[in-house]
Structure 1
Amino acid sequence: MLADPQSKVFVLLVETLVDFIQVYKDELHDWLLMLVSQLLKLMGTDLRVSLHSKVNNALDLVRESFPCEQQFSILMRFIVDQTQSSSLKMKVAVLCYIEKLSKRMKPNDFANSSEARLAMSRIITWTSEPKSFDVRKAAQAVLISLFDLNTPMYTMLLGALPKTFQDAAESFCTTTCAATAPRQALYSDDFWLTYRLILNVVFVNKNWKGSLAGVGQWEINMTV
């Protein structure tokens, strides 16, 4: 029924779902992947404003009710799931969810896994999405949020990607952070020098041939 937003009982169903989560959240961890996936898919459809608001409220409740580490892992899996095609609206919904989640996460919740690396490569690719400014903006916001959340882990994860991805992400982070006063105060020139040295020294011997244009083939190799 969640897959049919035109149903007359859809509004009642979402409201009931919210109540259900509030009462039984401690028993729903095994159901979280399906729950998040279905709600995000709904956000990618053409919902009326009132329905969109209710689904968004349900997602807000999910974000507040379950462990951040578990949610982050599920979102990484959702992004790299090749069995579904993501619409532009769905990409925005996923990215906005991740950015908001990152504000609640602890640094240790940001795990460096194969799925996270693959998802990061796609998020970096989405920063240059030609068909949607909203997708580009949301993807950039996620990179900044994850960088702020755990810079060492972000750097380590980024270093496992092809150099073209590293350059794209590093260039964006440096230019964006330098353009805002709070971040400029937080990250000094010495910080950025150290950040670049980590990338250049630790990963200098990696001869990556991947490119943004060839992300598909590289992603296949990453999952082997």
Structure 2
Amino acid sequence: MGRTEHREFKDKLYEQFARVGKALASPKRLEILDLLVQGERHVEAVARETAIPMGSASQHLRVLRDAGMVESRREGLYVYYRLAGEDVHGAWRVVRSLGERRLAEVDRVVEAYLKDRDALEAVCAERLMELLKENEVVVLDVRPEEEYRAGHLPGARSIPVDALEAALQTLPRDKEIVAYCRGPYCVFSDEAVRLLKENGYRASRLVEGYPEWRAAGFPTEE
């Protein structure tokens, strides 16, 4: 390979890698990836969950699809999107982790909006696994039910956070209750733990969400 060909090779190669960078260079597209980690969604659901017009959601999903990060299928009138592979979730975790380590603004945003989280008891995945083996805990999946169906922690009960108050009487008072949701920045489990404590239950939240639990190799159920 001559120098001219070598330069052309490098230019074309990095141009393709840049497509991945372009796909990730949007707050909404990162949010969409974080949503699709939980399970497959049709375009209308993506638009609703991310609070953007359906046309914008479709455009963002096309960019992600063109970069090979999501796949689509049609069912009737709906087009459904899902992550193209677990490595896409890994790429999002790397971006998130890099931001957490390198950007002080991340800490400031978290402190501003989740400032009372420190008052809530939390358990890590390793500790929760021990409690599950000892049968000393009730685990609540407080995500939407369709996300629970796509995958959940072993033995977890599905009680979406909006339905938790009505279901309180079905929960035992003699066991610790651990609530989990979508990930470290999801507030569903925070809301659930506050409600449980206000009603006299021993409750804590899982520091990680279901995707992190699964990625770490802990057992799951569908």
Confirm or deny a common fold (TM above 0.5): no
Larger radius of gyration: 2
TM range (shorter): under 0.3
By percentage of residues, which structure has more helix?
1
